[in-house]
Chains A and B, each alone.
Chain A
Amino acid sequence: EVQLVQSGAEVNKPGESLEISCKGSGYNFSTYWIGWVRQMPGKGLEWMGIIYGGDSDTRYSPSFQGQVTISADKSISTAYLRWSSLKASDTAIYYCARHSLATVTADTFAIWGQGTLVTVSS
Protein backbone atom coordinates (compact mmCIF):
# COMPACT_ATOMS: atom_id res chain seq x y z
CA GLU A 1 0.00 0.00 0.00
CA VAL A 2 1.30 3.42 -0.96
CA GLN A 3 1.25 5.79 1.99
CA LEU A 4 2.77 8.91 3.46
CA VAL A 5 3.14 9.09 7.22
CA GLN A 6 3.85 12.47 8.77
CA SER A 7 5.45 13.34 12.08
CA GLY A 8 3.31 14.32 15.04
CA ALA A 9 1.83 17.59 16.17
CA GLU A 10 4.21 20.32 17.32
CA VAL A 11 3.86 23.23 19.73
CA ASN A 12 6.63 25.80 19.49
CA LYS A 13 7.42 29.37 20.43
CA PRO A 14 8.01 32.23 18.00
CA GLY A 15 11.63 32.36 16.89
CA GLU A 16 12.26 28.65 17.35
CA SER A 17 13.34 26.35 14.54
CA LEU A 18 11.31 23.33 13.52
CA GLU A 19 11.48 20.45 11.06
CA ILE A 20 8.56 18.15 10.29
CA SER A 21 8.82 14.98 8.26
CA CYS A 22 6.92 12.82 5.79
CA LYS A 23 7.94 9.21 5.20
CA GLY A 24 6.86 7.46 2.04
CA SER A 25 6.36 3.73 1.72
CA GLY A 26 5.02 1.25 -0.79
CA TYR A 27 6.57 2.97 -3.81
CA ASN A 28 9.93 4.07 -5.24
CA PHE A 29 10.53 7.36 -3.40
CA SER A 30 13.26 8.36 -5.85
CA THR A 31 10.98 8.55 -8.88
CA TYR A 32 8.21 10.83 -7.63
CA TRP A 33 7.76 14.48 -6.78
CA ILE A 34 6.48 15.08 -3.26
CA GLY A 35 5.21 18.38 -1.96
CA TRP A 36 3.83 20.38 0.92
CA VAL A 37 0.48 22.14 1.32
CA ARG A 38 -0.46 24.58 4.09
CA GLN A 39 -3.92 24.91 5.56
CA MET A 40 -4.30 27.69 8.09
CA PRO A 41 -7.10 27.36 10.68
CA GLY A 42 -10.47 27.41 8.94
CA LYS A 43 -8.90 28.35 5.60
CA GLY A 44 -8.17 26.84 2.22
CA LEU A 45 -5.25 24.96 0.71
CA GLU A 46 -1.98 26.68 -0.24
CA TRP A 47 0.62 25.01 -2.46
CA MET A 48 4.06 25.55 -0.92
CA GLY A 49 6.48 23.63 -3.11
CA ILE A 50 7.66 20.25 -4.37
CA ILE A 51 10.86 18.21 -4.31
CA TYR A 52 11.96 15.33 -6.52
CA GLY A 53 12.90 12.33 -4.42
CA GLY A 54 15.70 11.21 -6.72
CA ASP A 55 17.89 14.33 -6.87
CA SER A 56 16.19 16.81 -4.47
CA ASP A 57 15.42 19.24 -7.30
CA THR A 58 13.09 21.69 -5.52
CA ARG A 59 10.50 24.18 -6.74
CA TYR A 60 8.95 26.74 -4.40
CA SER A 61 5.93 28.96 -4.50
CA PRO A 62 7.14 32.58 -4.42
CA SER A 63 4.93 33.03 -1.36
CA PHE A 64 7.01 30.50 0.58
CA GLN A 65 10.47 30.90 -1.00
CA GLY A 66 12.86 31.98 1.73
CA GLN A 67 10.29 31.29 4.45
CA VAL A 68 10.72 27.52 4.60
CA THR A 69 13.15 24.89 3.34
CA ILE A 70 12.02 21.70 1.65
CA SER A 71 14.46 18.80 1.63
CA ALA A 72 14.52 15.04 1.20
CA ASP A 73 16.62 12.02 2.12
CA LYS A 74 16.03 9.29 -0.41
CA SER A 75 17.97 6.76 1.65
CA ILE A 76 15.13 6.75 4.18
CA SER A 77 12.31 7.81 1.79
CA THR A 78 11.57 10.92 3.80
CA ALA A 79 10.79 14.51 2.91
CA TYR A 80 11.13 17.42 5.28
CA LEU A 81 9.74 20.91 5.81
CA ARG A 82 11.89 23.20 7.91
CA TRP A 83 11.54 26.64 9.49
CA SER A 84 14.55 28.50 10.89
CA SER A 85 12.50 31.01 12.87
CA LEU A 86 8.81 30.33 13.44
CA LYS A 87 6.14 33.03 13.53
CA ALA A 88 2.66 32.87 15.03
CA SER A 89 1.33 33.09 11.46
CA ASP A 90 2.96 29.70 10.71
CA THR A 91 0.25 28.05 12.82
CA ALA A 92 -1.46 25.64 10.44
CA ILE A 93 -1.89 22.05 9.37
CA TYR A 94 0.82 21.04 6.92
CA TYR A 95 0.15 18.20 4.52
CA CYS A 96 2.69 16.35 2.47
CA ALA A 97 1.45 14.82 -0.76
CA ARG A 98 2.84 12.81 -3.65
CA HIS A 99 2.31 13.36 -7.33
CA SER A 100 0.15 10.92 -9.24
CA LEU A 101 2.67 9.99 -11.93
CA ALA A 102 6.32 8.95 -11.62
CA THR A 103 8.89 11.52 -12.79
CA VAL A 104 6.26 13.99 -14.04
CA THR A 105 6.71 17.54 -12.77
CA ALA A 106 3.42 19.02 -14.04
CA ASP A 107 1.14 16.83 -12.01
CA THR A 108 -1.26 16.91 -9.09
CA PHE A 109 -1.29 15.28 -5.67
CA ALA A 110 -2.84 11.82 -5.59
CA ILE A 111 -1.51 10.51 -2.27
CA TRP A 112 -1.71 12.60 0.90
CA GLY A 113 -0.26 12.32 4.37
CA GLN A 114 -2.47 12.67 7.42
CA GLY A 115 -1.29 16.20 8.16
CA THR A 116 0.87 17.72 10.89
CA LEU A 117 -0.57 20.45 13.10
CA VAL A 118 2.01 23.10 13.91
CA THR A 119 1.06 25.56 16.65
CA VAL A 120 3.27 28.58 17.27
CA SER A 121 2.46 30.47 20.42
CA SER A 122 4.34 32.26 23.16
Chain B
Amino acid sequence: DIVMTQSPDSLAVSLGERATINCRSSQSVLYNANSKNYLAWFQQKPGQPPKLLIHWASTRESGVPDRFSGSGSGTDFTLTISSLQAEDVAVYYCQQYYSIPYSFGPGTKVDI
Protein backbone atom coordinates (compact mmCIF):
# COMPACT_ATOMS: atom_id res chain seq x y z
CA ASP B 1 0.00 0.00 0.00
CA ILE B 2 1.13 3.58 -0.63
CA VAL B 3 1.49 5.58 2.59
CA MET B 4 0.82 9.31 2.44
CA THR B 5 2.40 11.74 4.89
CA GLN B 6 1.77 15.47 5.30
CA SER B 7 3.61 18.31 6.97
CA PRO B 8 3.07 20.26 9.05
CA ASP B 9 0.28 18.76 11.15
CA SER B 10 -1.10 22.26 11.61
CA LEU B 11 -0.18 25.84 10.81
CA ALA B 12 -1.42 29.31 11.64
CA VAL B 13 -1.20 31.95 8.94
CA SER B 14 -2.16 35.61 8.99
CA LEU B 15 -4.88 36.83 6.68
CA GLY B 16 -3.43 37.60 3.27
CA GLU B 17 -0.28 35.58 3.89
CA ARG B 18 0.84 32.40 2.12
CA ALA B 19 0.14 28.91 3.44
CA THR B 20 2.16 25.93 2.22
CA ILE B 21 1.29 22.31 2.88
CA ASN B 22 3.53 19.41 1.92
CA CYS B 23 2.54 15.88 0.99
CA ARG B 24 4.79 12.89 0.36
CA SER B 25 3.94 9.45 -0.97
CA SER B 26 5.89 6.31 -0.05
CA GLN B 27 6.25 5.50 -3.75
CA SER B 28 5.89 7.47 -6.94
CA VAL B 29 2.36 8.28 -8.10
CA LEU B 30 3.58 9.44 -11.52
CA TYR B 31 2.29 7.22 -14.32
CA ASN B 32 4.96 7.47 -16.98
CA ALA B 33 2.68 6.40 -19.85
CA ASN B 34 0.64 9.61 -19.61
CA SER B 35 2.98 11.76 -17.47
CA LYS B 36 0.22 12.35 -14.93
CA ASN B 37 0.59 12.42 -11.17
CA TYR B 38 -2.33 10.64 -9.52
CA LEU B 39 -2.56 13.07 -6.61
CA ALA B 40 -5.50 15.09 -5.34
CA TRP B 41 -6.04 17.74 -2.65
CA PHE B 42 -9.20 18.12 -0.57
CA GLN B 43 -10.48 20.79 1.79
CA GLN B 44 -12.73 19.85 4.70
CA LYS B 45 -14.47 22.43 6.85
CA PRO B 46 -16.07 21.47 10.18
CA GLY B 47 -19.34 19.61 9.77
CA GLN B 48 -18.99 19.34 5.99
CA PRO B 49 -17.91 16.61 3.59
CA PRO B 50 -14.53 17.03 1.91
CA LYS B 51 -14.36 19.16 -1.22
CA LEU B 52 -12.07 18.33 -4.14
CA LEU B 53 -9.77 21.28 -4.84
CA ILE B 54 -7.09 19.90 -7.15
CA HIS B 55 -6.52 16.71 -9.11
CA TRP B 56 -3.67 15.46 -11.27
CA ALA B 57 -1.49 17.28 -8.71
CA SER B 58 -2.01 20.71 -10.25
CA THR B 59 -5.40 20.94 -12.01
CA ARG B 60 -7.86 23.10 -10.11
CA GLU B 61 -11.48 22.00 -10.02
CA SER B 62 -14.02 24.32 -11.60
CA GLY B 63 -14.97 27.11 -9.20
CA VAL B 64 -11.92 26.75 -6.95
CA PRO B 65 -10.28 30.16 -6.40
CA ASP B 66 -6.96 30.62 -8.14
CA ARG B 67 -5.24 31.38 -4.84
CA PHE B 68 -5.13 27.58 -4.47
CA SER B 69 -2.39 25.89 -6.46
CA GLY B 70 -0.81 22.47 -6.50
CA SER B 71 2.67 21.47 -7.57
CA GLY B 72 5.14 18.61 -7.42
CA SER B 73 5.77 15.29 -9.10
CA GLY B 74 6.67 11.72 -8.28
CA THR B 75 6.62 11.52 -4.49
CA ASP B 76 6.67 15.14 -3.29
CA PHE B 77 3.80 17.56 -3.63
CA THR B 78 2.75 20.96 -2.33
CA LEU B 79 -0.55 22.78 -1.90
CA THR B 80 -0.16 26.55 -1.72
CA ILE B 81 -2.76 29.08 -0.67
CA SER B 82 -1.25 32.30 -1.97
CA SER B 83 -3.25 34.75 0.13
CA LEU B 84 -5.14 33.16 2.99
CA GLN B 85 -8.76 34.19 3.44
CA ALA B 86 -10.91 33.62 6.52
CA GLU B 87 -13.01 31.06 4.63
CA ASP B 88 -9.89 28.92 3.99
CA VAL B 89 -9.75 27.77 7.63
CA ALA B 90 -10.09 24.01 7.24
CA VAL B 91 -8.27 20.70 7.25
CA TYR B 92 -6.51 19.85 4.00
CA TYR B 93 -5.87 16.29 2.82
CA CYS B 94 -3.83 14.89 -0.02
CA GLN B 95 -4.82 11.58 -1.64
CA GLN B 96 -3.13 9.27 -4.09
CA TYR B 97 -5.25 7.43 -6.65
CA TYR B 98 -2.39 5.60 -8.35
CA SER B 99 -2.96 2.26 -6.70
CA ILE B 100 -5.71 0.73 -4.58
CA PRO B 101 -6.25 1.45 -1.74
CA TYR B 102 -6.41 5.12 -2.78
CA SER B 103 -5.00 6.38 0.51
CA PHE B 104 -5.34 9.80 2.11
CA GLY B 105 -2.74 11.73 4.05
CA PRO B 106 -3.38 12.43 7.75
CA GLY B 107 -4.45 16.01 7.14
CA THR B 108 -3.10 19.50 7.86
CA LYS B 109 -5.16 21.93 9.88
CA VAL B 110 -4.95 25.54 8.72
CA ASP B 111 -5.95 28.31 11.12
CA ILE B 112 -5.72 32.07 11.19
Chain A interface (Cβ within 8 Å of chain B)? 37, 44-47, 49-50, 59-63, 95, 97, 100, 106-110, 112-115
Cβ-defined contact, B104 with A106, below 8 A: no
On chain A, the residues within 8 Å of B65 by CB distance are none
In this assembly, does B93 line the interface, its C-beta being within 8 Å of a C-beta of chain A? Answer: yes
Residue among A37, A44, A46, A115 facing the most chain B CB atoms (10 A cut-off): A44
Some 18 contacts from A to B, beta carbons below 8 A apart, are: A37-B50, A44-B91, A44-B93, A44-B104, A44-B105, A47-B104, A61-B100, A97-B49, A100-B55, A106-B31, A106-B98, A107-B97, A108-B102, A110-B52, A110-B55, A110-B61, A112-B49, A114-B49
CB-contact partner of B38 in A60, A97, A106, under 8 A: A106
- SS of A interface (majority): strand
CB-contact partner of A62 in B91, B93, B101, under 8 A: B101
Residue on A with the closest CB to B1? A62
Cβ-defined contact, B100 with A59, below 8 A: yes
Which B19-72 residues have a C-beta within 8 angstroms of A? 31, 38, 40, 42, 44, 49-52, 55, 61
- SS of B interface (majority): loop
**Minimum C-beta distance from A107 to chain B (A):** 6
Cβ-defined contact, B49 with A46, below 8 A: no
CB-contact partner of B103 in A47, A95, A114, under 8 A: A47
CB-contact partner of B101 in A61, A108, A113, A115, under 8 A: A61
Cβ-defined contact, A108 with B55, below 8 A: yes
On chain B, the residues within 8 Å of A112 by CB distance are 49-51
Q: A106-B38, A108-B55, A108-B97 are in contact. Are A44 and B106 (CB under 8 A)?
A: yes
Residue on B with the closest CB to A115? B49
Q: What's the Cα separation between A112 and B101 when bound, in Å?
A: 18
Residue on A with the closest CB to B62? A110
**Minimum C-beta distance from B23 to chain A (A):** 13
